[in-house]
Structure 1
Amino acid sequence: MILIMLRLTQYAQGGGCACKIPPGELEDILAGLGVPAPQDPLGELLVGVETGDDAAVVRLANGTAVVSTADFFTPVVDDPFDWGRIAAANALSDVYAMGGSPLMALNLLCWPRDALPYELAKEVLRGGAEVAARAGCHVAGGHSVTAPEPMYGMAVTGLADPDQLMRNDAGRPGLPLSLTKPLGLGVLNNRHKRTGEVFPQAVATMTELNADASRAAVRAGVRCATDVTGFGLLGHLFKLARASGVTAVLDAAAVPLLAGAREAVRDGFVPGGSRRNLGWVAGRLTSTVDEETLLLLADAQTSGGLLIAGEVPGAPVIGELVRRGEHEIVVR
């Protein structure tokens, strides 16, 4: 009974990917941070820190590329099994966003052992293992520490064809923009945290793997993509447009939203991370839509969909890339 009564979201200041360090502050931290190149490299670094892409990629001598990423965060829902599933799907998404397939994952667990029973931690890990198994990804141990807030995620290693990578700097004018999952996860998760209301549509979206969308994009010849997580659609779209040297024109009415998302914004359940995202891109965009819509477009997502520069079956087209103009983003 005590496990049912405990609310995991009340043990964390933030929630999900909204607990990320704000993008502007993160860029200040990383500015000028040089990483020495190895003297005798085993492979060639294809994707590093330069454009803030979803994962690092190294080409090996046999022509295979290794994709590596890590992602973890505080509880986004109260159900520990669901939190584990969401965190695992979110970590695996970085590999899918690069056009790769996950091979192996390591658990990353921070646990306030004096505040929360280990039975909850076991459920979190069980949820992560369930999603990894669904992805065909081995879970081979990991690392755990005692911490004041619960956090969980995975370090994931995957494989990809180096000639079929999807990168955030490979966009070009004339490409359509597609989005594979609806927005609104941040505001619905914040409503859940503050009221206890449960939103099955949000949980279903966050636990859905981006595997099929990734494979469909690679088959279609897509070479530019990213996933939409803590920096919101606008934040990740800005990074893609900046890295690719283009302007993104976004049709706000074409962007899919989860049921209840607009109502959550109107009722005041906007996470601080979503507002910070909008503040970060405000000077980089021009818009004719209202603030409510902009907040949804900047909403901090957890385990969101893929933003693809190309057309993918079943995914709505939400805009296009054009030649670089005065702003990186135009919202209509």
Structure 2
Amino acid sequence: MKAEIRSMSGAVLLGMAQWAWALQVPGPVVDGDWLAANRTVVTVLDVRPNLKSFLTAPRFETDAKTGNKILAELGGHIPGASPVQNSSIRAERTFGSLKVKFMLPERSEFEKLARGWGVQAGRPIVIAAAGRDPQDFNAAARLYWQFKVFGEDNIAIVNGGTAAWIAEGREVAVAPTKLAAGDWVAKAERTELIATSQDVEAAIATDTAQLVDARSTPEYFGLTKKSTVSGYGHIAGAKNVSSELLTTEGNATRMRSAATYRDIYKASGIDPHLPAITYCNTGVLAAGNWFVLSEILGNNRVRLYDGSLHKWTLEGRPLRAVAPL
């Protein structure tokens, strides 16, 4: 009888494990309530520029008028989250004699990275950005895009990231996370998600895809530039939708509604339902526009130009800029 009970208990536990493993994210974006309810059966990847803050307590200030506590400095992490350094997710690639930084890693290299973060095959992945700056969302979107390129579909971004999680008064951890052994398997590249320099040239020549420049307006016009780009201005025919428009400001930067996104693109001269190629300086800001157009607005004809203007100008290709002072 005891053996039968043990056998039944084992079967129940196995069934529960299989049920947990079969969990699917409800969409490309999840909120804090969903994550809190499912945190123990998903892999949370905390992507941020400063991993030192991952292990330090958040700092709060008290609003003099309301008496409410306000998150002043990000610290700590969602319990069980795996830390991911922004700069570690991309790699240098060689194209002929040209070495290009900030690119999508090779399949085997990205698989190794994911396993090092404790990502397990079949287990849902939830990406949490820092959530303090509008640009944080793009880092999460870039990591999401890379997983999608290598075949992962059971993946989402938590709205507002770690900052929203903390602002909502949820449990915060400061101790290092004990990571499970990762066994995630990358699949062949989904080339339909990636744009090359040749694809961009074809879009310019044939007007078959809209070009969406995700950088700041001064960079778009060629008034300023980043050191990663060898020229000033934008690709001919591109429209500017700065990535700073994609999230709200405040204590935690959150995504906007689908209706707001549609209006932003239309007002910027972009039809959110037609083919598009997003780009920026190196391919991070472009990921925010790709995510919104593809995952939130459902446009399956959007590609991200990997390497973006860093690669474009290394290849000696032209840019359009306003007249210099």
- Higher fraction of strand: 1
Name the structure, 1 or 2, with higher relative contact order (CA <8 Å, separation 6+): 1
Q: Is the TM-score greater than 0.5?
A: no
TM-score (norm 2): 0.30
- Structure number with bigger Rg: 2
